[in-house]
């Protein structure tokens, strides 16, 4: 459907074989980094056997896909391919920083609304924190910083620079949400909705990935260095 609407018109493949290979890789990436995580349950992750490098598996696949698509499509200018040509870098970076903090305000508001609805409908509150969240929050600061840097760059290059320019903000946002649905916590998933909308809107407004990239990094940094450690001290004081 996207192809019929001309969504991939910006990609000029030198041959039909290269085009078919690129779309086959795109299908594989959708399956492995979006559909499978959406069907998974974060509570089933065996964190006792989880290795630090395994956290970057999905991002490694996304990065490899972007490189392959770039090569197959005739190696267009890299900065243009990655939408990394901001009109005003300082202003966009500053806006991204502000949007990252605003994202947490929206996330908190959504959390209050969802918790209120759950109480009203007598659905009950979560009785534990997903093991994967606990594991990530307990990593050394430098390891959490690497996770933040990896997510803000690779994920924004894929979901914004690549997908949003071809499928539009709604589809890209849906795929972004599904890719983060494997943490096993509905409230966590609901909270991501707020920052997802902000990231998509920032890219639509600027046409550059810089602002959403900085916003994504700011949001994740606050989450991993402030919010999660504080929440775990409350939920699991021992």
> What rounded mean pLDDT belongs to the chain?
86
The one-character DSSP state at 212 is H
- The token pair that represents 77 in the structure block: 């200018």
Residues whose CB is less than 8 angstroms from the CB of residue 78 and which lie 6 or more positions away in sequence, other chains included: 70
Whether 162 and 66 have beta carbons less than 8 Å apart is answered as yes
- Distance separating alpha carbons of residues 111 and 165, to the nearest angstrom: 30
The residue-averaged pLDDT of 176-190 equals 70
Closest CA to 116 of 128, 107, 125: 125
- Distance separating alpha carbons of residues 192 and 176, to the nearest angstrom: 9
The residue-averaged pLDDT of 170-194 equals 77
Residue 126, pLDDT > 80, answer no
In this prediction the pTM is 0.90
- Report the pLDDT value the prediction gives residue 7, as an integer from 0 to 100: 84
Question: Measuring CA to CA, how many Å separate 187 from each of 21, 190, 196?
Answer: 38, 5, 15
Whether 191 and 223 have beta carbons less than 8 Å apart is answered as no
What band does 91 get if pLDDT is binned at 50, 70 and 90? Answer: very high
pLDDT tens digits, one per residue of 136-148: 888 999 999 999 9
Q: Is 77 helix (H, G, I), strand (E, B) or coil?
A: coil
- Report the pLDDT value the prediction gives residue 92, as an integer from 0 to 100: 96
- Report the pLDDT value the prediction gives residue 125, as an integer from 0 to 100: 57
- Report the pLDDT value the prediction gives residue 47, as an integer from 0 to 100: 77
Residue 154, pLDDT > 90, answer yes
């Amino acid at each position: 459907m996207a192809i019929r609407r001309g969504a991939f018109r910006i990609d000029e493949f030198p041959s039909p074989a290269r085009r078919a290979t690129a779309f086959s890789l795109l299908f594989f990436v959708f399956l492995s980094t979006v559909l499978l995580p959406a069907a998974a349950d974060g509570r089933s992750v065996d964190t006792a056997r989880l290795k630090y490098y395994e956290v970057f598996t999905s991002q490694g696949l996304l990065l490899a896909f972007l490189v392959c698509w770039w090569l197959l499509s005739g190696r267009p200018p890299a900065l243009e391919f990655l939408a990394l040509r901001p009109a005003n870098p300082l202003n966009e970076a500053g806006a991204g920083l502000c949007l990252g903090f605003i994202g947490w305000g929206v996330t908190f508001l959504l959390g209050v609304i969802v918790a209120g609805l759950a109480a009203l409908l007598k659905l009950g509150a979560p009785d534990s924190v997903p093991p994967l969240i606990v594991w990530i929050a307990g990593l050394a600061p430098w390891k959490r910083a690497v996770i933040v840097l990896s997510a803000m760059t690779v994920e924004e290059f894929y979901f914004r620079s690549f997908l949003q320019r071809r499928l539009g903000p709604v589809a890209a946002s849906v795929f972004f949400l599904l890719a983060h649905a494997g943490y096993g916590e509905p409230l966590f998933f609901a909270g991501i909705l707020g920052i997802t909308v902000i990231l998509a809107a920032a890219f639509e407004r600027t046409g550059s990935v810089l602002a959403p990239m900085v916003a994504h990094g700011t949001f994740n940094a606050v989450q991993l260095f402030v919010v999660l450690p504080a929440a775990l001290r409350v939920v699991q004081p021992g």
